[in-house]
């Protein structure tokens, strides 16, 4: 892959949910190492956009490429590609019947066919990095939301992904737990991980994002640096959106 191949490329992507046109002609490129934060009011299609990138949501038309490879249809090829794309969900989705360490080692063992000793060593190292190594033998339901989300990040990182997708990672958390998750994400961003983050955390967007993409009604309305976006938004919809959140 050449230097200029974007890690994620979406071109002319359209998607409907029945009558609802949720994604309208989306064109977006995320270069390697960049952190893109997707903002927008609820129902603007930002979560759907995030989920189309690893084809959890299929698209009607357009092209999506990961590291230069077009997303294939459901099957082995797609599974292989998904293994390289880490995903963190709003509701954590840790495997409820597995311990935290098992959650982190399962995919390396079964998908990557890593040896058990190595998978556990990496797993524990990742859990240490997100600060919950001492919880490794507990089940997800025994952890707080913030701990679960950090475990979910470790689980995604265990696959050594090329890019990480975050679908509203802090929206289901109690306020006092939001920062522990954002800290882990900021750390990742600083290390040069390519990230696409759907969030409502404006502080994170300002602090860690290279770019802010603002969506409304299924369209990308603005695509700018955080500074430009927050201080001088161009569109009325972005001004309206920022006015609603930033006045509090």
Binding site for other proteins (CB under 8 A): 54, 56, 74-76, 79-80, 82-87, 89, 91, 93-97, 106-107, 110-112, 139, 141, 152, 155-156, 159
- State the sign of the Cα–Cα–Cα–Cα dihedral 131, 88, 202, 9: positive
- Closer residue to other proteins in complex, CB, 158/238: 158
Q: Which is nearer to other proteins, 54 or 222 (by Cβ)?
A: 54
Supply the minimum distance, in Å, between the C-beta of residue 1 and other proteins. Answer: 20
Which of 189, 163, 121, 160 has its CA nearest to residue 29?
163
Q: How far is the CB of 112 from other proteins (least distance, A)?
A: 8
Cβ-based nearer residue to other proteins, 98 or 200 = 98
Total Cβ atoms within 10 A of residue 159: 19
Residue 165 Cβ vs other proteins, minimum distance, rounded to whole Å: 8
Nearer to other proteins, 49 or 94 (CB): 94
CA 165, 168, 173, 177 dihedral sign is positive
- In the complex, the smallest distance separating the C-beta of residue 225 from other proteins, rounded to whole angstroms, is 29
Taken in order 106, 108, 112, 116, the sign of the CA dihedral is negative
The answer to whether the beta carbons of residues 107 and 94 sit under 8 Å apart is no
Three-state secondary structure call for residue 65: strand
């Amino acid at each position: 892959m050449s230097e200029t191949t974007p890690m994620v490329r979406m071109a002319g992507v359209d998607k409907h949910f029945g009558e609802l046109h949720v994604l309208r002609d989306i064109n977006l490129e995320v270069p390697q190492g960049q952190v893109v934060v997707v903002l927008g009011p609820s129902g603007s299609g930002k979560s759907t956009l995030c989920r189309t990138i690893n084809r959890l949501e299929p698209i009607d038309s357009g092209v999506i490429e990961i590291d230069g490879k077009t997303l294939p249809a459901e099957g082995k090829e797609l599974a292989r590609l998904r293994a390289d794309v880490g995903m963190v969900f709003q509701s954590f989705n840790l495997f409820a019947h597995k311990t935290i360490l098992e959650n982190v080692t399962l995919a390396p063992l079964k998908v990557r066919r890593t040896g058990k000793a190595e998978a556990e060593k990496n797993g524990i190292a990742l859990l240490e990095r997100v600060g919950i190594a001492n919880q490794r033998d507990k089940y997800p339901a025994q952890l707080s939301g913030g701990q679960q989300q950090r475990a979910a990040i470790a689980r995604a990182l265990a696959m050594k992904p090329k890019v990480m997708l975050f679908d509203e990672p802090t929206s289901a958390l109690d306020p006092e737990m939001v920062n522990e998750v954002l800290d882990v994400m900021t750390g990742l961003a600083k290390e040069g991980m390519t990230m696409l983050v759907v969030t409502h955390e404006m502080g994170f967007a300002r602090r860690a994002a290279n770019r802010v993409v603002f969506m409304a009604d299924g369209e990308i309305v603005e695509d700018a640096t955080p500074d430009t976006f927050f201080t001088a938004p161009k569109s009325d919809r972005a001004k309206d959106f920022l006015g609603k959140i930033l006045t509090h």
